[in-house]
Amino acid sequence: MNKPRKSIAFNDAALKLVVCALIAISTAAMSTECSAQSFSNVSTSEPVTGFEVPARTASATNSTISGQVVTTGAAGAGQSVSASGQSAVAGAASASKRLFDVLRSGGVLMIPIGICSFILVVFIFERMISLRKARIIPGPFSTRFLDQLENGDLDRSSALSLCEKNNSPIAHVFAAGIQKWGRSSVEVEQAVLDEGERTSTRLRSYLRLINGVATVCPLLGMLGTVLGMIHAFDAIATVDPTMGDPKTVIATGISQALLTTAAGMTVAIPALIAYLFFSSRADKHVMEIDRLGMKVVNLISAEALSTKRTRTTSNKITKTAKKAA
């Protein structure tokens, strides 16, 4: 059974929403950085304060001096608050500038590592939405469906109609078994297992991509390390001591090597954690789907229906015998 259109549309909408959110966050961060830099460039002028004390009476002099002291204290407090706010803005701007300089000094390999981090964030959000238990195995639907089958309230057509309306992965597995209604238990079980395999494949989609990010990013970091060390050793061999300090060039190469390695590991570690987490969640859903599918097999197979008819007939005979006695 192919992947339902509603599920595909839901995943596409989720991906578009995540991409738009990331673009909006990036734009807001860039505008914040620009505004912070503009604020830091604004020059402030110190206000000039001065006063003259009239020499009329002692009381007037004291009151004037106290008022001027209060005014001067308020002005100093305002200047200190303004200076602290400007220093905080300047500090944020310098921090963002330092981060950008660090990323830029890592070399060209920081670009693929950044692309891998963006892909990782997008598909982590996608898997978090797609692997919700309420979406894979709706509890009310599966419980009610099995109870109605056990009580004999559903036939083949009504059961298929309920599965088509629900349109969840567990409903697809139930529908595959219902289509073999009244067949042998081997046929029904095989149909359930086949659909369960297809469902398991869909649940594990994009997990290989996350695992690929976890594998590729350390390799990119190691490649950056090798290139940085090559640059450092070339600098040692070719730099002219009379033209400049060779330590600066050597330090640049070693810094590039360390930055790319750190960036690759920073992306790879969360990717590996996400892969293990989502793989465990997918395996848990697959085991639950298999357990519920086996319940359907035990309710609609030919052997189960025959046992149920025999039990119903024996109950009727017993009730008739009790009434006759």
Distance CA 301, CA 140 (A): 24
Residues 6+ apart with CB under 8 A from 7: 167
What backbone phi and psi angles, to 5 degrees, belong to 180?
Answer: -100, 30
- Torsion-angle region of residue 245: left (phi > 0), alpha (psi -120 to 50) or beta? beta
Residue ranges in 138-245 assigned as alpha helix (H): 139-151, 156-166, 169-178, 185-203, 207-238
Position 136 scores a pLDDT of: 92
CA distance 85 to 257: 37
How far is the C-alpha of 144 from the C-alpha of 155, rounded, in Å? 14
Tens of pLDDT along 269-279? 999 999 999 99
The secondary element (H helix, E strand) that includes residue 264 is: helix 246-300
Q: What single letter denotes the amino acid at residue 24?
A: A
Q: Which residue shows structure tokens 């004291």?
A: 62
When pLDDT is averaged across residues 170-184 and rounded to a whole number, the result is 91
Residue 154 has pLDDT above 90, yes or no: no
How many Cα atoms occupy the beta-carbon half-sphere of 224 within 13 Å?
Answer: 30
Percent of the chain residues topping a pLDDT of 70: 62
Look at the pTM and tell me if it is higher than 0.95: no
Neighbours of 102 (CB within 10 A): 14
Residue 185, C-beta contacts closer than 8 angstroms, at least 6 positions apart: 297, 298, 301, 302, 303, 304
Banded model confidence at residue 236, pLDDT cuts 50, 70, 90:
confident
Whether the predicted pLDDT of 219 surpasses 80: yes
Contacts of 70 (CB under 8 A, 6+ apart): none
- The mean-pLDDT minimum among 45-54, 195-204, 297-306 falls in 45-54
**126 vs 54: CA distance, rounded Å:** 76
pLDDT class of 289 with cuts at 50, 70, 90:
very high
pLDDT in tens, 160-171: 999 999 989 999
Question: What are the domain boundaries of the chain?
Answer: 5-35+106-313
Which residue, among 147, 205, 199, 129, has the nearest Cα to 168 in the 3D structure? 199
- Quick check: helix, strand or coil at residue 154? coil
Residues listed for the chain: 325
Q: How would residue 94 be classed by pLDDT, with cut points 50, 70 and 90?
A: low
Q: What is the per-residue pLDDT across 1-33, written as a single tens digit (0 to 9) for each?
A: 444 444 445 555 555 555 455 554 444 444 444
